Amino acid sequence: MGLFNRLFSEFIDVIDWTDDSGDTMVYRFERYGNEIKYGAKLIVRESQVAVFVNEGEVADVLSPGTYALETKNLPILTTLQYWDHGFNSPFKAEVYFINTRRFTDLKWGTKQPLMIRDPEFGGMRVRAFGTYCVRVVDATKFIREIAGTEGVFTTDEISDQLRNLITSRFASIVGGSDIPVLDMAANYDQMGEFLTKRIGPEFGEYGLELTKVLIENISLPPKVSEALDKRTSMGMTGNLDEFLKYQTGVAMETAAQNPAGGASEGIGMGVGLAMANRMSESMAQPTAAGAGAASASVPPPVPVEPKYHVVIEGESRGPFSVSQLSKRVGTGELSPESLVWTEGMEGWVAASTVAVLQPVFASKSGSTPPPIPKA
């Protein structure tokens, strides 16, 4: 079998590769003893590059096109080996085809929930997942850093490492964004673009280009989601009284359409609502009675003594209480003709016309003795 492979390889003069897998990133063209016939034709298709490796070192990288493997066309071949039998003898080299197309729909996601501090709900745990796209932009660096000497290298062999890079950077971005959980859905595009720019240089260290990161969903734990759904339902219910009336009407309609089965349920709901109303009324009655008793035991407010402004020597002075004005009657500062005003009056009036002040002048006039008659 080994001899057959050796003889068969001598007749192969076309080196090319077509990918039918969809996930192969590197393919090594297999030859017996890595021997390549002098003058063989190398076909590099679009979305490919070919890398020559001789004795473990990259000798040349060829872009898309058709090449004749001769020293006059590829001077690099003269440095691969010395020629024992002239330049027409086979030479040994490894040819790697690098797939440079964009690999899409690669999955990423958080293995464990991420703990973040939400401005509205406080500490929360969230999960996230999405997709990303990459392509090889530096074939030499990709072979040296990632693929190595593998004959076939697929996206599955590097997806775990790339996914870990995305999730770790996503945790730091979300934790420092201060975006509420309820508003994250409106910022998926901005977060994906920022994540792409943030992680791009790290992918470049592997010879890869991160073209796009998409965030498909940021979810909450099941119990938190249930609590949030209940909160949303309460907000959508609106007026609870109107909602109960609507439910009662629906139950009655259902009972009318299905007398055999739904009547009992509708009647039961009606009885339950009636009992609830009776209980609420019975609870309200003692409350009302207690409120009435409490109001009866509270004394009325203390009456406020009015205070008056008085015109004394052409100037407004005060305000003075009635007792203070009584003292000023005795000193002569206040007389029945003095002008007074208090809140509620339209203008200044004589003190003698105010009913509250009339007793003040009467008591003072009765207690003052008449003048002593002259001898």
Same domain, 217 and 243: no
**Alpha helices (runs of H) in the chain, residue ranges in sequence order:** 2-9, 139-142, 156-177, 188-204, 222-237, 240-257, 259-297, 322-331, 358-367
CATH of the domain at 326: 3.30.1490
Same domain, 113 and 216: yes
Whole-model pTM: value is 0.55
121-147 b/e (C-beta count within 10 Å ≥ 16 → b): eeebebebbbbbbbbbebbebbbeebb
Domain of 244 in residue numbering reads as 238-269
Give the number of domains in the chain. Answer: 4
CATH of the domain at 190: 3.30.479.30
In a domain, 347, yes or no: yes
Residue 267 has a pLDDT of 55
Bridge-based pairing state of the strands 308-312 and 152-154: unpaired
Residue 110 has a pLDDT of 87
Q: What is the amino acid identity at position 264? A: S
In a domain, 278, yes or no: no
* Domain termination residue (choose one: 99, 130, 152): 99
Same domain, 14 and 46: yes
Same domain, 121 and 216: yes
Residue 72 has a pLDDT of 67
Rounded-to-integer distance, Cα 224 and Cα 228, Å: 6
Residue 259 has a pLDDT of 62
Q: Which residues of the chain have pLDDT under 70?
A: 1-12, 34, 71-91, 231-246, 256, 259-297, 302-303, 363-371, 375
Same domain, 135 and 188: yes
